[in-house]
């Protein structure tokens, strides 16, 4: 039977849970873990055969050593459901029965302790056994992770990691209200990266403490879903181990101080800037794939053969009187075939003789393949004062702590940088622009790509720099390449839109000007036409003229009146009306209609005179009716 490790405590009785916690909190980790395994075994045995395994003799050396001799051990046995049979000197499972008479072989606390109110059947015991096994698994995994961190790092670094995790767990347990804010830690958190994730075994220690990556690949955070009892187990183990490693760290510091006081003066190392041309050799290139400590797609460190170290030390001894090499030792790789070269660092002198192990991406930069002869030489590289880097994606700037992620991605991975190259660092902030492939340590997958846009040393801009052992290094994180593309695209679109708007405005203005010119020309033509029509009209007769007829015409916007002779043709009346029409009606067909009597003067009857129309008695009133174009 197995349980979710985060909920093991809900399966035990309150007394059982409290007893398990006391065992872990009051005793050394190795002993308490053994005690938990013993408790689970005892309950499992009872489930198998209560009659056979239901009596625990206090005289049993194994039981005494593994459980009863521990602080809280006897209380744990009784909390699990066993009852003290003082007469028999044993703890007895209830189904077997126990006599209440006094006896020997038990501690005073056990004899005087009240019998727990436990009514546990075999299935209940099985559930409790599974719960204790879950707690045992948590403690065992965490203890193993603690041991790994302690064995793989200096005592001070191990202490720092444990101390920080104690703080994280303690914050959750100590929260007075909602602890959700303490249960999630960003993957790029400076303290987390520097003190836990950067140490050997740190990621596993973090997971064993209950902080799971979200998401599992390229996590952006670590979240803890453990309940309070589980966190108490974790805090107990971390605290106890932290005290041990703190003591070791203090001892190591004291020993180092004593050794320094009595040690002879160390030989000075070769001065920086004095290694150019000291040593060179032709070695066969070997790709980094499968070599521990090297990554195919990032880092510039090489593996050289042991003889290289001996040769370099011998040459520096002869030239400078010291075999101590500068830190770091910079190298230069050159490809005989292409003429390309690149500075590099050295990781170890463990390569097979005659070979140099090179990260695969660097072979690509050199235009070389595995098996090609490369010239490897000692070199000088200017110390960087400023790096100008540009990430591939916008998401790098959105990471929780991009500067910390960059620092961790460069530290211990790159010795030198070259302007114009695109480098990769481990994705510790969920940026995720470089694909998977693992990072060779730290528990993350994926890479972040950055363009090295410019490099500066004390003397000014340079093509390559060394970035190791520098007191002050300024890093300028510029606009991402993705952001530049988006910005340029937006600028192009804006420029195109502006050009289109300007073209449209020019076209509209040209059209307006054309229309204005046309309107002006039409107005001039209209005015000329009106003058022509007016000039062609016969003189207006006098009011005393007996043959004069007063003609009134109602236009859409005004009223016209004029006197004409009876013999005047309708075309002249129509010309008079046309000379008064506004420009918008100019040139359109129309008729002049009289209602009493009904008559319409049109262009097909404009040869008639006013007298011939029968309308010439007194005044003639006509209405203008447009007939379209």
CATH of region 548-626, choose from 3.40.1440.10, 3.10.20.90, 1.25.40.340, 3.90.79.10: 3.10.20.90
Q: Which ranges in the chain are annotated with CATH 3.10.20.90?
A: 548-626
The pLDDT-based confidence of 107 (bands split at 50, 70, 90) is low
136 pLDDT more than 70:
yes
Q: The domain 153-251: what is its CATH number?
A: 1.20.58.2190
Q: Which residues contact 330 (CB under 8 A, 6 or more apart)?
A: 275, 343, 344, 345, 378, 379, 380, 381, 415, 416, 466
Distances (CA, A) of 123 to 3, 45, 47, 92, 130: 14, 12, 7, 17, 11
Task: With cut-offs at 50, 70 and 90, classify the pLDDT of residue 247.
Answer: low
pLDDT at 287 over 90: yes
Tokens of 10: 């809900």
The band of 131, judged by pLDDT with boundaries at 50, 70 and 90, is confident
| Cis omega (within 30 of 0) for bond into 9 | no
Q: What is d(CA 571, CA 602) in angstroms, rounded to the nearest whole number?
A: 9
Question: Tell me, what's the pLDDT at 354?
Answer: 95
Q: What pLDDT, on the 0 to 100 scale, is given for residue 255?
A: 59
Those residues whose C-beta lies under 8 Å from the C-beta of residue 166, and which sit 6 or more positions away, are 235, 238, 239, 242
What is the percent of the chain with per-residue pLDDT over 90, rounded to a whole number? 31
| Mean pLDDT calculated for residue range 292-304 | 87
pLDDT computed for residue 387 by the predictor: 93
Quick one: average pLDDT of 233-244?
85
**Predicted pLDDT of residue 440:** 37
Contact 243, 250 (CB under 8 A): no
Among 48-52, 209-213, 327-331, 460-464, the range scoring the smallest mean pLDDT is 48-52
pLDDT digits (tens, 9 = 90+) for 175-229: 877 788 888 888 778 788 778 887 777 888 888 998 988 876 567 788 998 888 8
Q: What's the mean pLDDT in 467-479?
A: 84
Note the pLDDT of residue 218: 60
What is the average pLDDT across 421-436?
Answer: 69
CA atoms of 289 and 489, how far apart (whole Å): 39
- Residue 318 predicted with pLDDT over 60: yes
Residues of the chain within CATH 1.20.58.2190 domain(s) are 153-251
What is the Cα–Cα distance from 263 to 252, expressed in whole angstroms?
A: 16
- Residue 443 reports pLDDT greater than 60: no
Tens digit of each residue's pLDDT (9 = 90 or more) over 382-414: 999 999 999 988 888 877 778 777 887 888 889
Task: Band the pLDDT of 500: cuts 50, 70, 90.
Answer: very high
> For residue 257, what pLDDT band results from cuts at 50, 70 and 90?
low
Share of the chain above pLDDT 70, in %: 86
Q: Pull the structure tokens for residue 384.
A: 């960087």
User: Does the pLDDT of residue 80 top 80, yes or no?
Assistant: yes
Average pLDDT, the chain: 83
Contact 343, 381 (CB under 8 A): yes
Indicate the burial class of 129 (C-beta count within 10 angstroms; 0-12, 13-18, 19 or more): buried
Position 101 scores a pLDDT of 36
- Bin 95: left if φ > 0, else alpha if -120 < ψ < 50, else beta: alpha
- Mean pLDDT of the region 321-330: 88
Residue 203 and residue 442 in contact, taking contact as beta carbons nearer than 8 Å: yes
Superfamily of domain 280-378: Ubiquitin fusion degradation protein UFD1, N-terminal domain (2.40.40.50)
Q: What pLDDT does 437 receive?
A: 43
CATH 2.40.40.50 residue spans of the chain: 280-378
Residue 557 CA to its chain's centroid (Å) = 74
Domain with CATH 3.10.330.10 in the chain: 384-478
pLDDT band, very low/low/confident/very high, at 97 (cuts 50, 70, 90): low
User: How many residues are present in the chain?
Assistant: 629
Q: Specify the pLDDT at position 252.
A: 59
Residue 452: pLDDT over 60: yes
pLDDT digits (tens, 9 = 90+) for 586-617: 888 999 999 888 899 998 999 999 888 887 67
User: Is pLDDT of 461 > 60?
Assistant: yes
Q: What is the pLDDT of residues 505-554, one digit of tens each?
A: 999 999 999 999 988 898 898 899 889 988 989 999 998 888 888 999 99
The phi and psi torsions of 299 (rounded to 5 degrees) equal 90, 150
CATH code for the structural domain at 384-478: 3.10.330.10
User: Distance between CA 604 and CA 571 in Å, rounded?
Assistant: 10
Q: Distance between CA atoms of 572 and 538, rounded to whole angstroms?
A: 8
Mean pLDDT (whole number) for 72-101: 76
Could you give the 3-state DSSP secondary structure of residue 23? helix
> Looking at residue 433, what is its pLDDT?
55
């Amino acid at each position: 039977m197995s349980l979710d490790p985060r909920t093991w405590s809900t399966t035990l009785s309150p007394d059982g849970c409290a007893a398990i916690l006391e065992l872990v909190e009051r005793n050394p980790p190795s002993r308490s873990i053994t005690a938990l395994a013993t408790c689970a075994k005892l309950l499992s045995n009872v489930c198998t055969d209560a009659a056979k395994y239901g009596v625990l003799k206090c005289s049993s050396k194994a039981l005494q050593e593994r459980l009863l001799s521990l602080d809280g051990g006897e209380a744990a046995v009784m909390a699990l459901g066993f009852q003290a049979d003082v007469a028999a000197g044993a703890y007895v499972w209830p189904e077997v029965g126990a006599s209440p008479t006094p006896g020997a072989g038990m501690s005073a606390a056990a004899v005087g302790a009240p019998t727990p109110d436990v009514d546990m059947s075999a299935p209940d015991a099985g559930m409790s056994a599974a719960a204790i096994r879950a707690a045992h698994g948590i403690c065992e995994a965490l203890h193993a992770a603690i041991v790994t961190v302690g064995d793989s790092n200096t005592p001070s670094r191990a202490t720092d990691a444990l101390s920080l995790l104690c703080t994280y767990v303690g914050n959750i347990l100590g929260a007075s209200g909602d602890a959700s804010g303490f249960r999630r830690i960003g993957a790029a958190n400076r303290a987390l990266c520097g003190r836990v994730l950067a140490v050997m075994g740190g990621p596993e220690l973090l997971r064993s403490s209950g902080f799971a990556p979200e998401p599992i690949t390229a996590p952006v955070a670590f979240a803890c879903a453990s309940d309070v009892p589980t966190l108490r187990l974790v805090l107990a183990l971390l605290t106890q181990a932290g005290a041990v490693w703190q003591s070791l760290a203090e001892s190591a510091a004291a020993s180092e101080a004593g050794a320094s006081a009595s040690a002879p003066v160390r030989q000075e190392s070769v001065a920086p800037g004095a290694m150019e041309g000291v040593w060179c050799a032709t070695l066969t290139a070997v790709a980094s794939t499968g070599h521990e400590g090297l990554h195919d797609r990032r880092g510039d460190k090489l593996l050289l053969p042991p003889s290289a170290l001996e040769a370099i030390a011998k040459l520096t001894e002869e030239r400078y009187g010291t075999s101590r090499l500068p830190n770091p030792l910079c190298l230069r790789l050159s490809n005989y075939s292409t003429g390309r070269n690149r500075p590099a660092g050295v990781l170890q002198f463990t390569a097979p003789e005659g070979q140099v192990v090179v990260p695969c991406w660097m072979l690509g930069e050199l235009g070389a393949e595995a098996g090609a002869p490369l010239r490897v030489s000692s070199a000088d590289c200017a110390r960087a004062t400023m790096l100008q880097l540009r990430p591939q994606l916008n998401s790098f700037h959105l990471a929780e702590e991009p500067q910390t992620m960059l620092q961790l991605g460069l530290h211990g991975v790159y010795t030198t940088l070259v302007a114009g190259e695109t480098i990769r660092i481990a994705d510790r902030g969920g940026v995720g622009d470089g694909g998977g492939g693992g990072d060779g340590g730290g528990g993350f997958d994926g890479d972040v790509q950055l363009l090295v846009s410019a490099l500066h040393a004390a003397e000014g801009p340079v093509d390559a720099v060394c970035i190791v052992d520098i007191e002050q290094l300024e890093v300028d994180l510029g606009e991402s390449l993705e952001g530049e593309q988006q910005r340029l695209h937006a600028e192009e679109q804006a420029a195109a839109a502006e050009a289109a708007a300007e073209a449209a405005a020019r076209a509209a203005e040209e059209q307006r000007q054309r229309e204005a010119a046309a309107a002006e020309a039409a107005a001039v033509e209209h005015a000329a036409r009106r003058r022509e029509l007016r000039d062609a009209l016969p003189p207006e007769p006098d009011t005393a003229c007996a043959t004069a007829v007063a003609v009134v015409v109602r236009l859409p916007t005004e009223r016209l009146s004029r006197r004409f002779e009876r013999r005047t043709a309708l075309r002249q009346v129509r010309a008079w009306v046309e000379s008064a029409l506004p420009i918008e009606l100019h040139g359109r067909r129309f008729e002049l209609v009289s209602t009493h009597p009904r008559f319409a003067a049109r262009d097909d009857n404009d040869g008639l005179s006013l007298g011939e129309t029968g309308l010439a008695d007194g005044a003639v009133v006509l209405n203008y009716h447009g007939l379209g174009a």
